[in-house]
Structure 1
Amino acid sequence: MRMRVGAVFPQTEIGADPAAIRKYATAVQDLGYDHLLTYEHVIGADPGYYHGWTGPYTMYSQFHEPMVLFGYLAAITSLELVNGILVLPQRQTVLVAKQGAEVDILTGGRYRMGVGVGWNPVEYEALDQDFGLRGKRIEEQIELLRELWTKPSVTHVGDFEKITAAGLNPLPVQRPIPIWMGADYPPGFRRAGRMADGWFPQMRPGPDLVAAKRIVDEAAREAGRDPDKIGMEGRIQYGPHGSDAVVDEAYEWERLGATHVCVNTMGANLPNVDEHIAALSAVVRTDRRLVAASG
């Protein structure tokens, strides 16, 4: 199967008009893209209070809540919907399991849950979770999510989670829903290799990616898993060199083993939804085989 090609939902730039969201999502589908990937942040820090703030997002950065958004998108498109990523350790595991199962049902099994540990301690504090324990907690959460999605009744007692003889109803279409992981450092690469169905490298094609994939593959083999069955999704920034550069990078991702790529038009100085759609359309016109083959 050829590499699948999606688009990054332009969270910070699309605005709050439901009509614009509908226009964008249906255009992505009509252009032939396979999936729509969505970033998340629940709450943003006030840089007027946190002097010297260096995070990429603040209270002025708009983010639609992804699971609610996916319920809306499931009704208007047949795209696969992907978290890229959901900051899992700052959320309640059972509630995430319930929301994920519902999105999977509403999409007819076209849902992929990408998860990661995040980077923002302000957000963790606001959601009453311990930023310092996020790496340990996510591993237990992943195991518990898979139990909740595949068993009618679950009893679990762990370091962070406790369930006594309870279960979700309805269960998802996919049992379990695929869990992918964001990773940008060696512990994350190893965790993805041990536990994930796929991973999102936070880098471009090159020596760093080759080295990271080697760590993922080695961790998979050590855990008794087949590394060839672990997906990899690259992210391609649409920039000043336009669609030609996007297509070239997409084929480089494919050469290095990517099963999926996503075209990101956020941060490309595109003033409105129509321009985001035009950029995605330009990629299709540049090489129709790239997107047409993704389905």
Structure 2
Amino acid sequence: MKLGVTIPNIELGNDLGSITAFVQAAEDLGYDYLMLYDHVVGADLSIRPDWKPFMGKPPIYTLDDAFHEPLVLYGFIAAVTKNIELATGVIISPQRQTVLLAKQAAELDILSEGRLRLGFGIGWNDVEYQALGMNFKDRGKRSAEQIEVMRALWTNRCISFDGKWHTLEGVGINPLPIQQPIPIWLGGAADAVLKRIAKLANGWYAPSYLDEIQLKEHIERLHGFVEEEGRPVESVGIEGIIRMWGRTPEQCAESLDMWERLGATHVTFNTESDSYKDRLPGAQMETLSGRSDFKNMDDRIDALRLFKDAVNARV
């Protein structure tokens, strides 16, 4: 089982020295991959006071939350690391132009010498889709065709493609990525997503709001869909997440037991601050709250070290 680290995008700041220290510490401590998530624009709640797009709740981020663009930031991180995998969890692919996304991903795969793993999702923020000029309502089905187009571009000198949303006639990207194709993982919990993963993806990002019983049920359904596609179940990875949030490193390490029982291939250790929990499904808060439990990047690096020590002590 591979262990990764979430880059706390909203709380990362603009100090390149701190960003470098965090990702290099993760690599030096032996973590297998970095995880970075994506949003392009946020909404102003003073203009949209009644907007509740996230499962009927207020949004989990606004324009006051800073997001670094993942592919650009990973271009920088690729230059200051050597071996650690660079994963996105997730790029909201349907709000991006498909061929350009394929080109950018290929470039990043080259810059990182084949260390890119792309996680895609369809998102929930209709305001973001509107701002980027993309259709929010057909995003799920369109994302499946996007994967077909990108994989074709990554693995062929020249392609022609005539789909519902994409028309390409005798074109190709150059240079091609090192990985052909770049691995694609998908996030989400609906059966439509699980079926899409079974047909098209290399792995599933398990939602953090599901408990062990729910996760087990979802994994069983996913494996059933994978078998229906004629693929071996072990060809589709499963990634979980562990957050500190008021727990000791030892207690966090104990959470690996659950993911081992579920057959996870990857588990991500998350160092976002405790108050982020107020934004997730099931939270009771109706307003966004600040973050204060990590004072600086050194605190997060210490958390990475303590968690890894606790994991190693289990062996």
Same fold flag (TM > 0.5):
yes
In structure 2, the residue matched to 1:146 is: 151
Counterpart Cα distance in 1 of 2:31 and 2:142: 34
Q: Which residue, 47, 60, 73 being the options, matches 1:49?
A: 47
Question: Is 1:14 the equivalent of 2:12?
Answer: yes
Aligned with residue 296 of structure 2, among 247, 260, 272: 272
Aligned position for 1:177:
182
Match of 2:31 among 23, 30, 33: 33
CA contact (8 A) 1:11 1:63 kept: yes
SS of the equivalent of 1:50 reads coil
Q: Which residue number corresponds to residue 76 of structure 2?
A: 72
Number of equivalent positions: 289
Does structure 2 retain, via aligned residues, the 8 Å contact 1:205–1:256? no
Question: What code does the residue aligned with 1:267 have?
Answer: S
Corresponding residue number in structure 2 for 1:239:
245
Distance apart, 1:289 and its partner CA: 6.0
Match of 2:230 in 1: 224
Q: 1:234–1:262: 8 Å Cα contact kept in structure 2? A: yes
Q: Any idea what the Cα deviations from partners look like across 1:5-45, whole Å, max 9, x if unmatched?
A: 01000101111111111111111111111110001100111
The match for 1:133 is: 138
Give the counterpart letter for 1:10 in structure 2. Answer: P
Q: Which runs of 5+ in 2 are unaligned?
A: 52-57, 275-292
Correspondence for 1:213 among 208, 219, 240: 219
Distance 1:257 1:90, change over 3 A: same
In 1, distance between residues paired with 2:211 and 2:254? 11
Q: Does structure 2 conserve the Cα–Cα contact (< 8 Å) formed by 1:13 and 1:272?
A: no
Task: List per-residue Cα deviations over 1:157-193 (Å, max 9, x = no partner).
Answer: 1111111101011111110000000112222122112
Matches within 5 A, 1:185-200: 185-200=190-205
Separation (CA, whole Å) in 1 of partners of 2:308 and 2:111: 28
Q: Which has the higher contact order (CA 8 A, sep 6+)?
A: 1
Cα RMSD after superposing both structures:
1.3
Please tell me whether the aligned partners of residues 212 and 258 of structure 2 are also in contact (alpha carbons under 8 angstroms). Answer: no
Residue identity in the other structure for 1:278: D
Cα deviation code 1:187-239 (max 9, x no counterpart): 21221122110010103551100111111111111112111210011011112
Match of 1:251 among 230, 237, 257: 257
Confirm whether residue 101 of structure 1 aligns to residue 106 of structure 2: yes
Q: Which amino acid aligns with 2:79?
A: A
CA distance in 1, matches of 2:217, 2:124: 23
User: Which residue type is aligned with residue 89 of structure 1?
Assistant: P
| Aligned-partner Cα distance in 1 for 2:305–2:294 | 14
Q: SS of the residue aligned with 2:137?
A: helix
**How far apart, CA to CA, are the structure 1 residues paired with 2:270 and 2:233?**
27
CA distance in 2, matches of 1:114, 1:64: 16
**Runs (5+) with no aligned partner, structure 1:** none
1:192–1:198: 8 Å Cα contact kept in structure 2?
A: yes
